[in-house]
């Protein structure tokens, strides 16, 4: 089976995918330069709504969008289609539950950030649901590799989120993370999220699914780099040999 299911390269699709590619590259560059920093976590502002409410909404809205679009676009449900729907539901449902019961927040999140992230995730969910009308005819080896990458990514993303939450069990101030892959990189939870989205891309195989993965890489690599710099500035004893997101490499 093909590694990539390409769209029909007519004029409309060429324009849409060209704009999407520009967005993928530009979003990460803007975040890395600090020109479009989304104001949550360490980069939050002093005003806004409850982070728990805001973060819940930005994950819950795309969860609803994914399911509504699946009901709208799909007339039948193959194993591959059901697997992709399940994976995306698990991703956003897990994040919602973490927001409600795991994460500890020390400040607000502003509405523009909530809206921007909710729109981006909802757009990705809607696109994946739309493309899921034309899935792989049957699972192949790369599909099952995708399932493995998704499962590993989700489990260890939760594991590292739990380590971060345990750091703040007494108070909500920041401390140097440790344990797991935190001993090697600043943002292992981002690396694991990338594993999950690559898994979804391998399960879907559509070109747009790879673009969504590329967009996630673009943003999370930039966010991880700025987070790494933040830790180095805030903590004089922050380990200088830690990499940003990929152990021993980057």
Instruction: Answer with the residue of higher pLDDT: 132 or 39.
Output: 132
Instruction: Give φ, ψ of 17 to 5 degrees.
Output: -75, -30
Tens digits of per-residue pLDDT, 157-212? 999 999 999 887 666 678 899 999 999 999 999 999 999 999 999 999 999 999 99
C-alpha distances in angstroms, 47 versus 70, 122, 195, 243?
A: 36, 25, 33, 32
> Residue 78's pLDDT band (boundaries 50, 70, 90)?
very high
User: Which residue ranges make up each domain of the chain?
Assistant: 32-234
> How do residues 209-228 score in pLDDT, each as one tens digit?
999 999 999 999 999 999 99
pLDDT of residue 45: 65
Centre a 10 Å sphere on the Cβ of residue 234 and count the other Cβ atoms it contains: 11
Question: Rounded mean pLDDT of 21-48?
Answer: 72
pLDDT > 80? residue 33: no
The answer to whether 230 touches 158, Cβ cutoff 8 Å, is no
- What mean pLDDT is predicted for residues 143-161? 98
Of the candidates 174, 182, 126, 177, the residue with the CA atom closest to the CA atom of residue 156 = 182
In this model, does residue 44 exceed pLDDT 70?
A: no
Across the range 87-115, mean pLDDT stands at: 92
Q: What is the mean pLDDT of residues 73-89?
A: 94
The radius of gyration of the chain's CA atoms, rounded to the nearest angstrom, is: 18
Least confident of 4-13, 86-95, 144-153: 4-13
Give the pairing of strands 108-109 and 49-50.
antiparallel
Q: What is the mean pLDDT of residues 148-158?
A: 98
Q: Looking at the predicted structure, is the pLDDT value of residue 141 above 90?
A: yes
Q: Are residues 203 and 80 in contact, defined by beta-carbon separation less than 8 angstroms?
A: yes
Q: What confidence score (pLDDT) does residue 41 get?
A: 66
Question: In this model, does residue 99 exceed pLDDT 80?
Answer: yes
pTM, entire model: 0.92
| 115 vs 41, higher pLDDT | 115
Mean pLDDT of 228-249: 93
pLDDT score recorded for residue 89: 97
Q: Which residue has the tokens 């020390």?
A: 106
Report the pLDDT value the prediction gives residue 114, as an integer from 0 to 100. Answer: 92
Would the pLDDT of 59 be above 90? Answer: yes
3-state secondary structure the chain: CCCCECCCCCHHHHHHHHHHHHHHHHHHHHHHHCCCCCCCHHHCCCCCEEHHHHHHHHHHHHHHHHHHHHHHHCCCCCHHHHHHHHHHHHHHHHHHHHHHHCCCCCCEECHHHHHHHHHHHHHHHHHHHHHCCCCCCCCCHHHHHHHHHHHHHHHHHHHHHHHHHHHCCCCCCCCCCCCHHHHCECCHHHHHHHHHHHHHHHHHCEHHHHHHHHHHHHHHHHHHHHHHHHHHHHCCCCCCCCECCCCCCC
Q: Is the pLDDT of residue 40 over 80?
A: no
User: Average pLDDT of the chain?
Assistant: 91
């Amino acid at each position: 089976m093909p590694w990539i299911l390409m769209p029909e390269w007519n004029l409309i699709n060429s324009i849409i995918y060209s704009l999407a590619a520009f967005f993928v590259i530009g979003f990460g560059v803007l975040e890395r330069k600090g020109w479009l920093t989304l104001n949550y976590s360490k980069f939050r502002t002093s005003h806004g709504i409850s982070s728990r409410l805001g973060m819940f909404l930005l994950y819950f809205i795309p969860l609803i969008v994914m399911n509504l679009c699946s009901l709208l676009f799909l007339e039948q449900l193959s194993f591959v289609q059901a697997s992709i729907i399940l994976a995306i539901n698990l991703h956003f449902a897990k994040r919602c539950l973490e927001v409600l019961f795991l994460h500890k927040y020390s400040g607000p999140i502003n509405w523009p950030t909530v809206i921007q992230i909710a729109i981006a995730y909802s757009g990705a969910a809607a696109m994946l649901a739309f493309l899921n009308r034309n899935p792989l005819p049957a699972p192949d080896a790369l599909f099952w590799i995708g399932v493995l990458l998704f499962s590993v990514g989700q489990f260890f993303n939760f594991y590292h989120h739990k380590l971060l939450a345990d750091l703040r069990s007494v108070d909500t101030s920041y401390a140097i993370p440790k344990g797991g892959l935190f001993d090697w990189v600043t943002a292992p939870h981002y690396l694991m999220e990338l594993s999950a989205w690559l898994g979804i891309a391998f399960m879907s195989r559509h070109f747009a699914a790879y673009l969504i993965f590329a967009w996630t890489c673009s943003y999370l690599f930039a966010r991880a780099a700025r987070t790494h710099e933040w830790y180095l500035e805030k903590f004089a004893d922050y380990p200088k040999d830690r990499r940003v997101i990929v152990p021993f490499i980057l």
